[in-house]
Amino acid sequence: MVSRLFCRYRRRMAQLLIVYHSRTGGSQQMAQAAFEGARNEAGTSLKPADQAGPDDLLAADGYLFCAPENLAALSGIMKDFFDRCYYPVLGRIEGRAYAQMICAGSDGESAARQTARIAQGWRLRAVQEPLILCTHAQTPEAILSPKTIPEQELAQCREIGQALAAGLAMGVF
């Protein structure tokens, strides 16, 4: 009897969706680290931006967006994800928690502002300041070369994933 009641009233596990784009590997490493931090706290999905869509957003309780800044803007593929999903979920995901991580060669502020503006349109709730990791890539060769994110910075990404997922699981967000 007790087990039937428990099953009947058991809450659905909170779902975190991590959407990322990466051309040179930096953002992918950041997103993967966040996924590693989150996976024991809540149901967590890790999806490349070109494979994520409106149904993924609707199925999640919170989001972590991770992308590079390219030419002082959000990367094109990440922007395409937002463009494809914006209107199909508009009015259907208000109040959900989100965080963002940016991999930048210099400051990353423009990409962070662009993501925040899109999230504001969806009426999402930022639950932390953007994490911007700077690779200091300033030459064409350095910008286009594969990136390796230092462990201490990946640890920050794991902490963000864990904190966001735990907050969703506990119903804080």
Which mean pLDDT values do the consecutive 10-residue runs of the chain (173 residues) have?
Answer: 46 91 98 96 96 98 97 96 98 98 96 98 98 96 95 98 97 93
Q: pTM of the predicted model, to two decimals? A: 0.92
The answer for residues whose C-beta is within 8 angstroms of residue 154's C-beta and 6 or more apart is: 29, 30, 33
Residue 83: CA count within 13 A, CB half-sphere = 8
Return the pLDDT at 173: 93
pLDDT at residue 165 in the model = 97
What's the confidence (pLDDT) of residue 11? 59
Q: Both tokens of residue 162?
A: 């864990």
Q: How far is the CA of 103 from the CAs of 13, 24, 46, 84, 125, in angstroms?
A: 30, 10, 17, 22, 21
pLDDT at position 79: 98
Which domains are present in the chain?
13-170 (3.40.50.360)
How many residues are listed for the chain in this entry?
Answer: 173
For the record, the structure tokens of 5 come out as 């009641």
Say what the pLDDT of residue 43 is. Answer: 95
Whole-number pLDDT of residue 7: 45
